[in-house]
Amino acid sequence: MFVLLCSGVMETKNDQALVGVQNYLERAAERLKPSAPIKFHISSRTDAGVHALANAAHLDIQRPPGKAPFSSQQLVQGLNHHLRPEPIRILSAQRVSSTFHARFCALSRTYIYRLLLGCAHHSQIPVFEQDLCWAPAGGPLDVAAMREAAQFLLGTHDFSSFRSLHAEAAAQSPVRTLLQLQLQPAPGFLQQHYLHSGLEFWEVKVKSRSFLYRQVRRMVGALVAVGQGRLAPAQLRELLELRDPRAFPPHAMAPAAGLFLQRVEYSPEDLASPPAEEKLCGLS
């Protein structure tokens, strides 16, 4: 599993200027001189600007005849060596069954969205929090109203109103089960070392087996609109019931910078390590 602070894990095409994490991972793996091309399969694809504290991927890697298979430690050390100086780290790796798939075997994914409250102007955002949180304009947020609105989103629903109008998104089933949606106070990075009176960090924590494209950012944006008084809590239920992405309030989607993939969970059976397999995956 990887700690990622980067442009997202989507592979980019050769004619694009933006290079994704998957590209960096595959370049690093190729420098280990495998006997066949390497393809990483990432558990969770993220937008440009979204961060990952821990992501998972699997890959099949074969060494030339006469070379012993990589151990987990050798793979971690080798990839990290070739990933320098990119802000990407492999935390650990282990062998898994050839039937394992980092994306499709995931039981759940947990995201956190970091909010900074109390900023009268963007210049008040601490310098080491730049691009790592969202400081909504317009004064304090009504957290109680946001928590009330969040209850309407929990459970299994058709989340069409909270998905992107992107053409690819339209092909997905809009039904998802939201297992957790919490709003809670949170510390800032290095908060104990600076004084910014009146600033408060909060986290929106969401958990589901899978999410629609940009669903989390739209849900957070709608909750912030409730906190600002631009929407009533009950209007989130009405929005949900409309099942129409065009009904989503314009300009209400939260920016990418505050969103972090925190955890991807698998069953112990899927992570069992058969001795003869060559497929490896990253683990937290």
Q: What is the pLDDT along the chain (284 residues), one digit of tens a residue?
A: 332 333 344 445 444 444 578 888 899 999 998 888 888 888 887 777 888 888 888 888 888 888 888 888 898 899 999 998 888 888 888 888 888 899 999 999 999 999 999 887 888 888 888 889 999 988 889 999 999 999 999 999 999 999 988 756 667 899 999 999 999 999 887 766 666 667 889 999 999 999 999 999 999 999 999 999 999 999 999 999 999 999 999 889 999 999 999 999 999 988 877 655 445 565 53
Position 192 scores a pLDDT of 64
Residues 7 and 90 in one domain: yes
Q: What is the CATH number of the domain that holds 83?
A: 3.30.70.580
Total count of domains within the chain: 2
- Of the listed 47, 142, 158, 270, which one is catalytic? 47
Residues 161 and 35 in one domain: no
Over the stretch 150-171, which tens digit does the pLDDT of each residue have? 999 999 999 999 998 875 666 7
Helix (H, G, I), strand (E, B) or coil at 115: strand
266 is in an annotated binding site: no
Q: What is the CATH number of the domain that holds 222?
A: 3.30.70.660
Residues 136 and 208 in one domain: yes
Separation CA 45–CA 165 (nearest Å): 17
Beta pairing partners, 203: 114, 184
Over the stretch 187-216, which tens digit does the pLDDT of each residue have? 887 766 666 667 889 999 999 999 999 999
Residue with tokens 């075997």: 105
Position 248 scores a pLDDT of 95
Q: Is residue 234 part of a domain?
A: yes
Q: Which domain holds residue 25?
A: 2-104
Q: What is the chain's length?
A: 284
Position 280 scores a pLDDT of 59
Position 19 scores a pLDDT of 58
Residues 65 and 206 in one domain: no
Q: Domain end: 71, 86, 104, which one?
A: 104
Separation CA 220–CA 203 (nearest Å): 10
Task: Outline where the chain has alpha helix (H).
Answer: 21-30, 72-83, 143-150, 167-170, 215-227, 233-242
Per the annotation, the verdict on 270 as an active-site residue is no
Question: pTM for the whole thing?
Answer: 0.86
Compute and round to an integer the Cα radius of gyration of the chain.
Answer: 21
Is omega for the bond preceding 268 within 30 degrees of 0, making it cis?
Answer: no
Separation CA 16–CA 273 (nearest Å): 38
Q: Domain end: 79, 104, 129, which one?
A: 104
The single-letter DSSP state of residue 19 is -
Residues 123 and 248 in one domain: yes
Residues 236 and 257 in one domain: yes
Separation CA 87–CA 5 (nearest Å): 6
Residue with tokens 């963007």: 122
